[in-house]
Structure 1
Amino acid sequence: MKISLYIPCFNASLYIKRCLEGVFNQSINIDEVLIIDDGSTDNTVQIASKFDVKIISHESNKGLAAARNTAIKNSAGDYIASLDSDCVPEKNWIEKLIHEFRDNKIAGIGGMLVEGYQDKPADLWRAVNMPQHWGNELTYNPEFLFGSNNIFRKESLLKVGMYDEALGNNGEDHHISQKLKSMNYALIYTPAARAVHLRQDTVSSILRTHWNWYRMFHEPVNIENLKFRTRYNLRTSRDRIKEDIRNRQYKLLSIDLILPADQFIRDIRYFVRKR
């Protein structure tokens, strides 16, 4: 059994050193580590080159789905793990992921992403409203495996045609999970495999990320979808306000309140661009 691990990177100089230190401190051996540099303009490559990694660079930014496909095509492992560049895996992360491959119908295992920063309102809002995990219980066939930390059988990814590069930077993890399920593969989520998320947000950046996450949900390319998304965001805002008041998370209310207007403006801009 050979394990490859890849880290897709775009201007990741703030985090990549800590990420790689965690990767090279795993409790079991990783046979190869690939850095997929997606057109970075900072010193990501220079930092990564100080480690025992294979670096593959795109000449321009092609998006996360394309970076994942580059990794799959250039990996030598039977199993291919993925870790975001702003994440630090716990020491037994890979060991806990591999442990769940109990039969050949299991195509992939996903771990828990723990938010490392939750003091500022934007970071806490992300932790509460945009978690990248499925809770504290081992779960068979969750809705999908988050792309931030997972491992797949390479053979399974190849059989479903790899990632859809048209999706760019968001939704590719959900899409590949659905393709695997449609071919009767199983997925497992294990909270025992943990990685810490180093990202820190501002109000502006978290609202932008929220919109990007849900861009393909009733994509705002026509009036009906615009109406649906507006109603949906209003309901979401209302529900989050109620929940935050109930939990005494008062510092999150300002983001809850501006969410519908912010997302509507982004939807309109996208709608106009697509016409």
Structure 2
Amino acid sequence: MRPDVSVIVPAFDSAQTLGACLAAVRAQREPVAEVIVVDDCSTDGTREIARAFGATVVEQPENRGPAAARNAGIRASRGDVLFFLDADCAPEPDALAVALRILRDEPDVACVHGIYSLRPLFDDGPVEAYRLLHGHYWRLKHAGRVRTTLFAVCAIRRSVFDEVGGFDERLRASEDVEVGDRMPARLGIVLSPAMVCRHDDDSRLLALLRKQFRRSQLLLPVARHERGPAGIRANSLATVGLAGLTALALPLAAFWAWAPLLAFLGFVVADPGLLRFVVRHRGPAFAVYFFAVHLLVVWSVLAGALVGALRPSPLLEPA
């Protein structure tokens, strides 16, 4: 028997992308029982677009972030399988079918999540191209059995939340990773490269750097609370270390001009698979741009992680 599937889409000021997201839900080859859009106090036409597509709209009384929105969607839903989508993601027509097939064929698997397409939902320029290349690469690199949950495009058995509880509403980032950390090892998690969605990613560099700085402040607190081996990481330790070394080498340019350049070249080759991937898909010229932007992004992550390590963590506050 096919399980009933509830689609849950948390949304905040998502009028630009929500229509494409819901149109992609409508185009799924597997039927869904209901579509729930949880509006997190939007100020644009998000609610009207959701209703135009026939979705059930759950309105949050105040803006509380994706964790609270997803919990509200869980409470409002009835499906045996919950298909979570971010409002800026449009799954390919077979995405849900891929997830349901894995859940059917591998009974120990409780959660299946997917990867971003290299093709954007809307083409907004080179910064977005950088984001999609990197996001596709690191997800593809970790494809298979994992211990990290990512909910941008994710199908999960309702019974998981009955057992481990909902999302931690104290968190406005990394809330999906934190849920996976509470899942016992007997509940399998699969990152499937066949479960693909197009994503409308960041397209403005300064906004991207600010977001990375803000979100990375929870990296160390979440990592300290992980049980067992480390989960999925978007960047290798070598990449992060050489980014830090490049920053430290900048003042040395006054004495030895080659120091920052050599450090940057080390940063570029720290993950040779990523270098080959970018050159293969976009060519050498774009690779230069890619790694320049990537260095700024990793610097933002390092700065945010340092600030987060010095601040009290919401994970240490009473629930």
TM-score normalised according to structure 2 size: 0.72
**Displacement over 4 Å in runs of 4+:** 230-233, 235-240, 243-247, 259-275
Q: What is the letter of the counterpart of residue 19 of structure 1?
A: C
Q: Is residue 215 from structure 1 mapped to residue 217 from structure 2 by the alignment?
A: yes
Q: What is the letter of the counterpart of residue 179 of structure 2?
A: I
Aligned match for 1:158, one of 159, 162, 177:
162
- The residue aligned with 1:251 is 289
Query: How far has the Cα of 1:209 moved from its partner?
Result: 2.9
- The residue aligned with 1:234 is 244
TM-score normalised according to structure 1 size: 0.83
8 A Cα contact 1:65 1:165, kept in partner: yes
Once the two structures are superposed, the pairs formed by residues 95-114 of structure 1 within 5 Å of their partners are 95-101=97-103, 102-114=105-117
Q: Is residue 176 from structure 1 mapped to residue 186 from structure 2 by the alignment?
A: no
- The unaligned stretches of length 5 or more in structure 2 are 222-239, 248-263, 314-319
Query: How far has the Cα of 1:47 moved from its partner?
Result: 1.2
Could you say if the C-alpha distance between residues 158 and 42 of structure 1 is closer, same or farther in structure 2, counting changes exceeding 3 Å? same
Q: Is residue 121 from structure 1 mapped to residue 126 from structure 2 by the alignment?
A: yes
| More off after superposition, 41-50 vs 251-260 | 251-260
Distance in 2, matches of 1:125 and 1:138, equals 20
Q: What is the letter of the counterpart of residue 95 of structure 1?
A: A
- The residue aligned with 1:222 is none
Q: Deviations over 1:90-139 (max 9, x none)?
A: 11111111000124422111122214347733223312434486317861
Q: What is the letter of the counterpart of residue 268 of structure 2?
A: I
Hey, which of these two has a bigger chunk of helix by percent?
A: 2
Distance in 2, matches of 1:138 and 1:232, equals 25
Distance in 1, matches of 2:175 and 2:153, equals 14
8 A Cα contact 1:241 1:256, kept in partner: no
Query: How far has the Cα of 1:78 moved from its partner?
Result: 0.6
8 A Cα contact 2:7 2:35, kept in partner: yes
- The residue aligned with 1:22 is 24
Q: Aligned with 1:56: secondary structure?
A: strand
Distance in 2, matches of 1:77 and 1:202, equals 37
Once the two structures are superposed, the pairs formed by residues 1-275 of structure 1 within 5 Å of their partners are 1-101=3-103, 102-117=105-120, 120-131=125-136, 134-135=139-140, 139=144, 141-168=145-172, 170-180=173-183, 182-219=184-221, 234-235=244-245, 238=264, 240-242=267-269, 247=279, 248=284, 249-259=287-297, 262-263=300-301
Could you say if the C-alpha distance between residues 200 and 183 of structure 1 is closer, same or farther in structure 2, counting changes exceeding 3 Å? closer
Distance in 2, matches of 1:51 and 1:67, equals 19
Distance in 2, matches of 1:254 and 1:128, equals 14
8 A Cα contact 2:215 2:304, kept in partner: no
Distance in 1, matches of 2:301 and 2:107, equals 42
Distance in 2, matches of 1:152 and 1:12, equals 23
8 A Cα contact 2:116 2:132, kept in partner: no
- RMSD of aligned C-alpha atoms? 3.1
Q: What is the letter of the counterpart of residue 140 of structure 2?
A: G
8 A Cα contact 1:66 1:163, kept in partner: yes
8 A Cα contact 1:135 1:191, kept in partner: yes
User: How many pairs were matched up?
Assistant: 264
8 A Cα contact 2:37 2:57, kept in partner: yes
Q: Which structure: larger Rg?
A: 2
Distance in 2, matches of 1:272 and 1:93, equals 41
Could you say if the C-alpha distance between residues 245 and 71 of structure 1 is closer, same or farther in structure 2, counting changes exceeding 3 Å? closer
Q: How high is the sequence identity, in percent, across the aligned residues?
A: 22
